[in-house]
Chain A
Amino acid sequence: MIIDPGWGDLSMTVALFAVVVALSVREGLSVEKDLVVATIRTVVQLFFIGYIIKALFAVNTWYVVTGALLLMMTYAAKAGLGRMKRPFPGFYLPMWVGIASGTVFTTAVVTGAVLKADPWYRPDVMIPLGGMILGNAMTGGAIAADRLVTEMRARKNEIELWLILGRDYRFAAREAKREAVRAALIPTINTMMTVGLVHLPGIMVGQMLGGVEPVVAAKYQIIIMLMVASCVTVASSVFATLALKRFFTPRQQLKHWLID
């Protein structure tokens, strides 16, 4: 049995919203304004995308589906970098390629080998899965980007030492890159450790509320967890590999003035 909340029912979530705002005011968090904006954006964006996806599900052509994913990737790369504490020049392309590689690889495996979507571009599979993978790739990329800059700054002397001793820049900065990829992966690994014990993922809850058999929902959740791990790893390592170059001149000199 699927409960489809009516519009009136949905508006009852206002109670949740009111509590959040009231607390924010009382505790002087001064996030009320942000909260109002965020809530309005959540509602508008989700309905908007709901209808867009509905429309996308109806068109059954590979180029519309691929085009939609490409557009989402481009936005994701920008949004991912927007989350950085301090922007770093030349990160856009590495971020785009990172997110794209993570998304294409993971989506291909899941839709092709696991779910065996037919036709391969089936929009009701590709769009939600691709979008979700993309979102995780973006988060992973953003964490890796921030961490990479921090590590490069902290390890400046070590990196220059390796260069002076005649190592190439990839060797010199390999620890910084490793730390960046590791940092991107840690939230995912932690989630995988506790999934089902400490929390039930939103998607699984959503599926069960939507009437799906719990074991089937669990299967999907397993796919999703591994999917997230894979896209985060691929996206953050491809990003970090490409982004590393931006810290060095073509003559393999550390651009110390960018990280000082």
Chain B
Amino acid sequence: MICAILKESFSCKVEFMCIKPVIELRNIDFVYPPSLQAKEKPVFKGLSLKVEQGSILVVNGPSGSGKTTLLRLLSSMEEPGGGSIYFEGRDYREFDPPALRRKISMTPQIPVMLEGDTRRNLCLGLNKPAPDEALLSWMGRFGLEPELLGKRAESLSVGQKQRACVIRNILVDPVVLLLDEPTASIDPASSERFVKQMVRLSKERGLTLVWNSHDISVVGPVADRVISIDRICDDN
């Protein structure tokens, strides 16, 4: 049987008694439904976790440990087999899933761009396109050249796409932003800039960040809390 254990690595922010968790997981069990090829093993068993409002939570763990799965549960893209998840004190099941996903916005590990230019792709989450000035200002903050705005989005590099995806999620104006290895394909200098911008954003807007990273050297220093997921296997 496999189970996931959360280890508190360090916690550097004074936690006030009155801070309410924006997201809380209670006793989550999760197994991927069996596919045609194989029977799945549980990814989480009895996982509990609180995410404080406005904090930066870094999720660390080796590849295959369940970081992406955790974010998919948080964004309601997977349904837990047992236990409950709460957003601002209310059970996920009380929310309309699309409305919930606009509040808890996920940037997937593999960036997805659709037909059309970057401009269109940045505005996919909006009902009407944002003005170019706004888009350009966001792009500038994340180190994307203005020329990219009119370029076919699919021709961007993976690192550029990843940052464009993050901007796309920010434009939806979520309460919680879930980032799945956002700096995996960016050079160290850009990574640093990205981390700085995210911290600034979190401060400015009180945005809560759940940040997956297999390498905590980049984001660890700015985290309010780092948790590690270890997958312990014993084939009984």
Contacts and interface: CB of A to CB of B under 8 A. Distances in A.
Contacts of A257: 32-35
Nearest to A159: B112
Interface string B34-74: 11100000000000000000000000000000000000000
Task: Provide the main secondary structure of the chain B interface.
Answer: loop
B143 interface: no
A61 to B, nearest CB: 49
B83 interface: no
Q: Taking each of B78, B97, B106, B169, which has the highest tally of chain A beta carbons within 10 Å of its own beta carbon?
A: B97
Interface residues of A, number: 19
Nearest to B121: A161
A252 interface: yes
Given A160-B77, A161-B114, A260-B35, A252 B97 contact: yes
B110 interface: yes
Contacts of A253: 76-79, 97
B131 interface: no
B77 A165 contact: no
Contacts of B186: none
Interface string A166-182: 11100000000000000
A164 interface: yes
Interface in A202-260: 249, 251-255, 257, 260
B33 A164 contact: no
Interface in B111-130: 112, 114, 124-125
Contacts of A166: 98-99, 101-102, 105, 125, 172
B101 A165 contact: yes
B75 interface: yes
Given A158-B114, A251-B97, A163 B33 contact: no
Interface in A111-158: 157-158
Most A-side CB within 10 Å, residue of B32, B75, B78, B112: B112
Interface in B129-182: 168-169, 172
Contacts of A164: 75, 77, 101, 105-106, 108
B108 A160 contact: yes
B116 to A, nearest CB: 12
B79 A165 contact: no
A253 B36 CA distance: 19
Contacts of A254: 77
A251 B76 contact: yes
A124 B34 CA distance: 51
A251 B172 contact: no
A255 B93 CA distance: 18
Nearest to B125: A165
Nearest to A254: B77
Given A252-B97, A257-B32, A260-B35, A161 B112 contact: yes
B112 A158 contact: yes
A255 B79 CA distance: 10
Nearest to B106: A164
A157 B108 CA distance: 10
Contacts of A167: 98
Contacts of B102: 165-166
Contact of B98 (A160, A161, A252, A260): A252
Contacts of A260: 35-36
Nearest to B34: A257
B153 to A, nearest CB: 12
Contacts of A157: 108, 110, 112
Interface of B: 32-36, 75-79, 93, 97-99, 101-102, 105-106, 108, 110, 112, 114, 124-125, 168-169, 172
Enumerate the 3 nearest inter-chain pairs by beta-carbon distance, A residue then B residue, closest first.
A166-B102, A165-B125, A252-B97
15 contacts: A157-B108, A160-B77, A161-B112, A163-B97, A164-B105, A165-B102, A165-B105, A165-B169, A166-B98, A166-B172, A251-B79, A251-B97, A252-B97, A255-B33, A257-B32
